[in-house]
Amino acid sequence: MKTRHKFTTYLLIVILPLIILSFIYWRHLDKSIQKERQEQAEWAGSVYRDYIDQVIGETKKKLELLSLSSSVLYMDDNRTEHLMKWIMDTDPRYAGVYWINMDGVSLSGTNKEFYHYYLIEQADINRAIITQRAVVAKGKALNNSGINHFSIFAPILDHEKRAHGFLLAQIRLDHMEKILNILIPDQTLKLKTSDNIRVLGMNETISRHSEWVDVPLSEVDWTLSVKKPDTLNTNNMNVFLMFVFFTFFFTHMIYTAVEELNVRREEKKQKVLIERQKIDFVGTLAASTAHEIKNPLTGIKGLIQLLVEKHPEEQDQFYYAVIMKEIDRINSIVSEFLILGKPMARDLSIYDVRSIIAELRPIIESEARYFNMEVTWHIVKEPIWVQCTKDQFKQIILNTAKNGFEAMKDGEKLSIRIYNEKDHAKIDIIDIGQGLNEKEIGKVFDPFYTSKKEGTGLGLFVCKRIIESFNGTIQLASKPLIGTTVTISLPLVTKHP
């Protein structure tokens, strides 16, 4: 049963929290990773897009500017070829530059192998004539000496804004790919037209689980797709494993602390049970023995009183006085033993604490005079109603006051305060005697513990049992060489006669 309880506790404190917290953290980590992957891919896409748009935009502007001067050079082959060669030599991005007629056929250019080739499709020609601006050709890319490229061309307009030819530049994809790799190395991307024709690809080792971020270009109706980084890497896994380890460590510490508390609680229960059994056994034994002692003791005391009357001599009276004193002491011890054997739950009545104290006051002051000491009283004027047994309550106050007298020296004062505190009646009995250390304070309410030479060790123990039967508490605070304060607390009764 105990093993099963331990397993259940371990499951609830260690295993389940570890699984739940690990799952929650993994979800949080996964969301953070996905967000970081998305942001990284978007950032890479924005860098690539800006570069590609810059290349296309700059080429468009350059071709539109050159097309203005080209209208003057139209049909002058030498000067036209010189212009196109200058364009080619000044920008390494170009694979070739060509003069195109209205049918899309090259008339001249930097590469004679492509003379009289159809380099522009009719749909692209119509688009350029309508817009009268440079456009990117949507036709299939040609291959110039093994170099992939795509084409941008601008219409050559006369003074009446009529096209009579085109100036075309081929952009080198290998050069563009090289620059893109320099900007962000080892990034996977692909560039496609609106018709899903592949224009450019980099580091394309693509798996089925690859995720992409699409970034549209501004200068042309193409889509740039950038692959998100891998989901897991060593750092992320190390962070997760470290979290699992520390979670297990802390939950295991909590489990150990809980088990320690359970062990202490069990030990405390066992101690209380053993103490109760011990008290019950001692109480039963003491009560039965006390009855057997008390009966003959009464007879002895009666006979001694007769002898006191019969032998008035001074020396005999001295001996009889000693015998009577010892008989009274035995009788007191036997009475305390009898209390141990009595059940504490008795018929309780409602009393004003002040009236009980008023009855005790002459006795306590007489005791103070006997010890050559004084008593100061601090009693509230309002009634303080509590539920108790009058005789037993008197016994508690007398025992506690007597302990205070015995702890002090001649001429010192004992203070007794009676007052209300919230919903409890409080009685403080304060002496300025030798006081007790912490070790002694922890034992004062244990049965048979005493610091007196002739004490039984039952006085405060019995007081505590009686007070607890009244649903109250008794506490002791003390400091060596300063004094001791005994505080008795009883619940106030709201409904009283």
> Nearest 5 degrees, angle CA 274-CA 278-CA 281?
140
Q: What is the mean pLDDT of the chain?
A: 82
Regarding the domain delimited by 2-170, which CATH topology (the fold level of the hierarchy) does it fall under? Answer: Beta-Lactamase (3.30.450)
Sheet containing 222-227: order of strands: 198-202, 189-193, 222-227, 212-216
Q: Give me 412's structure tokens.
A: 């010192």
Residue pointed to by tokens 């893109």: 180
Q: pTM here?
A: 0.51
Domain ranges of the chain: 2-170, 345-491
The predicted-structure confidence for 209-221, as pLDDT tens digits, reads as follows: 778 999 999 989 8
What CATH number has the domain spanning 345-491? Answer: 3.30.565.10
pLDDT for residue 120 is more than 80: yes
C-alpha closest to that of 165 among 123, 125, 111, 116? 125
Task: Please give the Cα distance from 428 to 486 (Å, whole number).
Answer: 6
Task: Please give the Cα distance from 142 to 119 (Å, whole number).
Answer: 8
pLDDT of residue 1: 56
Q: Are 167 and 158 in contact (CB under 8 A)?
A: no
Interval 400-405 mean pLDDT: 89
Segment of 156-160, 195-199, 484-488 carrying the highest mean pLDDT: 484-488
Measured in residues, the chain has a length of 497
pLDDT for residue 56 is more than 90: yes
H helices then E strands: how many in the chain? 11, 17
Task: Please give the Cα distance from 422 to 137 (Å, whole number).
Answer: 94
Query: Distance between terminal CA atoms of the chain?
Result: 54
Count how many Cα atoms sit within 13 Å of the Cα of residue 88 in the half-sphere of its side chain: 17
Other CB atoms within 10 A of residue 470 CB = 21
pLDDT for residue 147 is more than 60: no
C-alpha closest to that of 445 among 429, 432, 463? 463
Interval 198-203 mean pLDDT: 84
pLDDT band of 248, cuts 50, 70, 90: confident
pLDDT of residue 57: 93
CA distances from 215 to 53, 111, 167, 293 (A): 12, 34, 29, 106
DSSP conformation letters of 199-242: EEEES----TT--EEEEE-SSSSEEEEEEPPPS--HHHHHHHHH
pLDDT of residue 419: 92
Amino acid occupying residue 138: K
Q: 154: part of which helix (H) or strand (E)?
A: strand 147-157
Task: Please give the Cα distance from 214 to 307 (Å, whole number).
Answer: 122
pLDDT for residue 144 is more than 50: no
Other CB atoms within 10 A of residue 402 CB = 15
